[in-house]
Amino acid sequence: MDNKTVLEKANAAISMGDHETFLSYCSENTKWVFIGDQVLSGKEEVWKYLADAYREPPKFDVEYMISEGDYVTAVGVISLLNKDNQWTDYDYCDVWRFQDGKMAELRGFVIQR
């Protein structure tokens, strides 16, 4: 499976609230860097983040994906249910680095609309 397809399948899983399947596409030592916000290291930290931030499955509108070598960049809008039970829209640009067919590192740029 090519890297773009892996990301598409991972996003489909998270859109259904299936954190376990999503994490199966991540490397054990995956690292997520949300620029200007936080850094998550390893599947356990990512799992905790997903459980908190994605209490309800997020809604994705991926405008486009660009794949080159070990990288896939996704640009679009994600809607998340906040702690006040209101949906909030964010523009995002995710740059994923793949290693051995797994999502090894994320650099995410996220701005509330």
Task: Give pLDDT, residue 55.
Answer: 86
Domain ranges (residues) in the chain:
3-112
- Mean pLDDT estimate for the chain: 96
Task: Give pLDDT, residue 20.
Answer: 96
Q: Round to whole Å and give the CA distance between 113 and 103.
A: 27
Pick the CATH number of 3-112 from 3.20.20.60, 3.10.450.50, 3.30.70.100, 3.30.70.870: 3.10.450.50
The fraction of the chain above a pLDDT of 70, given in percent, is 100
Give SS3 for 84.
coil
Task: Give pLDDT, residue 83.
Answer: 86
Degrees, nearest 5: CA angle 38-44-58: 65
Q: What is the mean pLDDT of residues 17-23?
A: 96
Task: Give pLDDT, residue 5.
Answer: 97
Which residue in 101, 96, 100, 80 sits closest to 32, CA to CA? 96
| pLDDT tens column, 39-82 | 999 999 999 999 988 989 999 999 999 999 999 999 999 999 98
